[in-house]
Structure 1
Amino acid sequence: MKDNIIYRAATLEDIPTLLDFEQELIAYERPFDSNLKDSCTYYDLDYLITSSKAQLIVGSFNKVIITCGYAKIVQAKHYHKNTEYSYMGFMYVNPEFRGQGIIQETIAQLKKWSVSKNILEARLEVYNDNTSALKAYENNGFKKHMIEMKIHLK
């Protein structure tokens, strides 16, 4: 199955599908984050599609988009060895196709793009309680690095 997926750079024509994916992702992540607004978006899709500093990819099966993800080049903190890194996000696979290793290939495509831009490090964020995503990322070589903590003050 995953060998039959065709990956390509997203285009502006893909935005309606990507907006649907984004809302599904937000709905899935809502239980992990009480701070999410009732109506919100995460991504600047125009930027991710048109910028030379970002690559938003989609994967299609039988000409239907079923997966996406992006990498964008981000300036690292001034005290880090690498001055830039690739920040990855919008990792989405259509629920009908999950559990088949598709996200691994999506990440592999983004790693390849990052290396082509001479980027030597990739990072992403994932909710602590999103165990399926944590497992997928760890299976792809990502390691926990920094933990963000929060407290409600009132």
Structure 2
Amino acid sequence: MIIRKATLQDLPVLLQFEQGIISAERPFDDTLLPDPISYYELRAFIDAPDVELLVAEIDCDVAGSGYARIKENSKTYHDFERYAYLGFMYVLPRFRGLGVNLAIIQQLKQWVLEQGLNEIKLEVYNDNTGAIKAYEKAGFKKRMIEMRMRL
């Protein structure tokens, strides 16, 4: 497995991954608009200095992806001014269970440390138990549950 920065040549596969994420998350979120929708500005992320967009390659196939993005902390009562937000975590079904997600997260953690940050956050749907287990395996801890009400 090779973990590397995404390039513009990866964009067609990355756009497919985005739709895979949306399809996987649609059952957890009844507020999503009908297809086609898009979550990310992937083309911009590839060259952005405040984003590290990585892909995992296995046998010359792009098997997974993820990014870390530097964000400003608007909560003045925390002990950090900036943090990294992880997103776009996706692994093709045939490559799941091989440690792809964990390898991408490890590389992103290294990039975050190189940026002088020590806080990483991500969001995951409460009922997405598979993703929650994967993130806990990588060292993430649950902190807060967002609640909502549709009127």
For normalisation by structure 2, the TM-score amounts to 0.96
Q: What is aligned with 2:74?
A: 77
Further displaced range: 88-97 or 72-81: 72-81
Question: What CA distance in whole angstroms lies between the structure 2 residues aligned with 1:129 and 1:82?
Answer: 29
Q: Which residue of 2 aligns with 1:16?
A: 12
Identity %: 47
* Structure 1 runs not aligned, ≥5 long: none
Which consecutive aligned stretches of 4+ in structure 1 deviate over 6 angstroms post-superposition?
A: none
1:59-91 residue CA offsets vs partner (Å, 9 max, x unmatched) = 111111001000000001241210000000111
What is the CA–CA distance in structure 2 between the aligned matches of 1:19 and 1:117, rounded to whole Å? Answer: 27
CA distance in 2 between partners of 1:133 and 1:102 (Å): 13
TM value normalised by structure 1: 0.94
Q: CA deviation at 1:142?
A: 0.6
Q: Is the 8 A contact 2:63 2:100 kept in 1?
A: no
Deviation string 1:34-76 (CA, Å, 9 cap, x unpaired) is 0111121111112211111000000111111001000000001
**SS in structure 2 of the partner of residue 66 of structure 1:** strand
Equivalents in 2 of 1:102, 1:50: separation in Å? 23
Letter in 2 for 1:56: L
Q: What is the Cα-based RMSD across aligned positions, in Å? A: 0.9
From 29, 32, 47, the equivalent of 1:33 is: 29
Give the superposition deviation at 1:109: 0.7
User: Could you say which residue in structure 2 is the equivalent of 1:141?
Assistant: 139
Instruction: Structure 2 unaligned segments of length 5 or more: list them.
Output: none
Tell me how far 1:99 sits from its aligned partner: 1.4
